[in-house]
Amino acid sequence: MRELIAQIDLNGIVNNFLTIKSFVQKRNPTCQIIAIVKADAYGHGAVEVARALESCNVYALGVAFFEEAVVLRHAGIKSKIIVLFDREVDGLFKYSLVPVIFDLKQAEVLSKEAYRRGVILPVHIKFETGMGRLGIYDNPFETIKKIAEMKNLKIEGVMTHLSKAEDKEWTQEQLKKFEAIKKFFHEIRLNKIRLNKTRLNKIRLNPIFHVSNSQGLAYDNALFDAVRPGLILYGYGFLDNLVPCMSVKTRLLD
Ligand SMILES: *Cc1c(COP(=O)(O)O)cnc(C)c1O
């Protein structure tokens, strides 16, 4: 019988993280990294990868689902964890997680629960600027106003996903829509756009903006305040000096 062993190079992951960070920070010195560790860190072991990234002071980790975040917290991971695609409510508070909001209903539920608990919940809002994925698509400006007026939410981040990052023109169209959303937040902060509730704390409305997955790193105007590399972190992408971090070995048993 043959056994397959996947060997993971954690130093390689650290190397790739630092490579990505220096690449983006050369273009935008304040750009942070939200390292995507969903799907067991693309099969590399989420806990071990998260530990390695935490030791590099990663800005945040990104997982797809709530349960993935729980595994990391139980393993002692303290970093900020952003949950990309989940409607979990209670557990967010219990484990100090940051949800991504993709519709108004979800925002309402979270706002109510945060209010009930007497805490401010940081959230990221996802807008759909391409096609077909999860995210706020219709009336983005109205939706922003509504969420901004909700109690006990702090809009910590605003994001979109590049649906065809290999297509330059398409990507620029998406970025244009995203820029308009960013501008709208700016105008709220400048009081050019008035919210109904004036008691609103402006500090709660100073989000970071983030767009790029691995492929999106190729566009200088897609870097914003943070980037969300997944695949490239594990060594697969267009940057020089990346280290592929998984090697599969087979042991011959006689
Ligand atoms: C998976 C994922 C990423 C990372 O994508 P890669 O192409 O692997 O870099 C970034 N953002 C979101 C929302 C994702 O779901």
For the chain, how many residues are written? Answer: 254
How far, in Å, from the CA of 64 to the mean position of ligand 1? 9
From first to last of its 254 residues, the chain has per-residue pLDDT tens of 578 888 999 999 999 999 999 999 999 999 999 999 999 999 999 999 999 999 999 999 999 999 999 999 999 999 999 999 999 999 999 999 999 999 999 999 999 999 999 999 999 999 999 876 678 888 889 999 999 989 999 999 999 999 999 999 999 999 999 999 999 999 988 888 777 765 555 556 889 999 999 999 999 999 999 999 999 999 999 999 999 999 988 877 66
Q: In this structure, which residue's CA is closest to atom 4 in ligand 1? A: 230
**13-56 pLDDT, tens per residue?**
999 999 999 999 999 999 999 999 999 999 999 999 999 999 99
- The closest residue, in CA terms, to atom 6 on ligand 1 is 230
Q: What is the largest CA-CA distance in the chain?
A: 76
Q: What is the CA(96)–ligand 1 centre distance, in A?
A: 22
**Ligand 1 atom, smallest distance to 159 CA:** 13
* CA dist list (Å): 126 to 84, 129, 159, 169, 219: 9, 9, 5, 21, 20
Give the Å distance between the CA of 195 and the centre of ligand 1: 33
The number of C-alpha atoms within 13 Å of 81 and in the hemisphere containing its C-beta is: 31
Atom of ligand 1 nearest to the CA of 126: 13
| Interatomic CA distance for residues 222 and 110, integer angstroms | 29
Give the atom of ligand 1 at the shortest distance from the alpha carbon of 229.
Answer: 9
Expressed in angstroms and rounded, the spacing between residue 215 Cα and the centre of ligand 1 is 9
Name every protein residue with a CB atom under 6 angstroms from any ligand 1 atom.
36, 38, 84, 161, 213-214, 228-232
Compute, in angstroms, the gap from residue 99 CA to the centroid of ligand 1.
Answer: 15
The Cα–Cα gap between 82 and 124 comes to: 8
Nearest one of 9, 24, 34, 5 to 244, comparing CA atoms: 9
Minimum-distance ligand 1 atom for the alpha carbon of 214: 9
Helices 168-189, 140-148: inter-axial angle, 10-degree rounding: 40
Q: Helices 46-54 and 66-74, interaxial angle, to 10°?
A: 70
pLDDT digits (tens, 9 = 90+) for 142-154: 999 999 989 999 9
Distance 36 CA to ligand 1 centre (A): 6
Q: Which is the closest atom of ligand 1 to the Cα of 213?
A: 9
Distance 1 CA to ligand 1 centre (A): 37
CA neighbor of 31 nearest in space, from 56, 64, 58 = 58
Which residue minimizes the CA distance to atom 1 of ligand 1?
230
